[in-house]
Amino acid sequence: MRRVVLRERWQEGQAASSFEVLEGDPPEPMHLNALTWLLHDHEVGQRPRHLAYEGIVVLEIARTLLPRGRVGHAYTIDGGPLGAPAGAAPRGLLLRYAAHALGR
């Protein structure tokens, strides 16, 4: 299991948020694309527009072995499932990070 801790910061006057990997290695584009696809099925929180903001999310990436030698991946956000009812804010942060990292 890989653990990645991401931080998003935004202050009034900034055009866009800044992102930082606090722990672990940045997720590869393969994982960011998969997460983007998976997270669009769930409610996503927006960052506050008129207040300074700092958010932290813990992403865990597990490698799973599948039949016939195939490999899959499972993801958790803040120790819970991607679709957890209280997960809108972390899902939003992760989607904004993915868009930033993928240049979208």
Checking if the pLDDT of 15 tops 90, the result is no
Q: What angle do CA 31, 3, 11 make, to 5 degrees?
A: 80
pLDDT digit string, tens, across residues 35-93: 999 998 888 888 877 788 899 999 999 998 888 988 889 999 999 998 888 889 999 99
In which residue are the tokens 């008129």 written? Answer: 50
Phi, psi torsion values for 39, nearest 5 degrees: -75, -20
| Average pLDDT of span 8-34 | 93
User: How many residues appear in the chain?
Assistant: 104
d(CA 63, CA 16) in angstroms, rounded, equals: 32
Domain boundaries, the chain: 2-101
* pLDDT band at 6; cut points 50, 70, 90: very high
Query: Is 42 buried (19+), middle (13-18) or exposed (0-12) by CB count in 10 A?
Result: middle
> Could you tell me where the DSSP H helices lie in 1-104?
29-39, 88-101
> What pTM was estimated for this model as a whole?
0.90
3-state secondary structure of 87: coil
Q: What angle do CA 103, 12, 19 make, to 5 degrees?
A: 35
